[in-house]
Amino acid sequence: MIKIFMWINISLFIVHEMDAVHAREWKMIKFMRRFGDNTGHILFTSLHFFLFILIFYLTEYHLLIIFPVISVLLILHQLIHILFRKHSENRMNNRFSEIIIFCMFLNSLTGLLCLF
């Protein structure tokens, strides 16, 4: 059952990051906002490559450790998006983006409740 919640979280996170690239989310990150669109896009996307390798590896071998960690991070991720809702560079304040982010939050919360 936890694997299903984990795969849903990973899938939603990938979709969210695709949306984040489209919305130039790196413009909201302090150390990355100084980059132009091309450099920001390349750096932001490239860093996610390594993040996803780590997530897939840990999911394969350490599911019961990584699932709660990722779930808590995705719950915090929801809070970060709420805090940055009014940020001048926030282009993820549309219904589609908000639904993806909320679904990650809801799936994480539900999965944690099922786990514990």
Question: pTM, whole model, 2 decimals?
Answer: 0.89
| Gap between the Cα atoms of 107 and 13, Å rounded | 11
Angle between helices 95-115 and 63-83 (to 10 degrees): 140
pLDDT in tens, 49-64: 999 999 999 998 898 8
pLDDT at residue number 90: 87
Taking only the tens place, the pLDDT of each residue in 67-116 is 999 999 999 999 999 998 888 888 888 999 999 999 999 999 999 999 98
pLDDT, tens only, 63-75: 889 999 999 999 9
Q: Which of 116, 19, 17 is nearest to 67 (CA)?
A: 116
> What are the domain boundaries of the chain?
2-115
CA angle 20, 22, 28 (to 5 degrees): 50
Element at 15 (helix H, strand E): helix 2-22
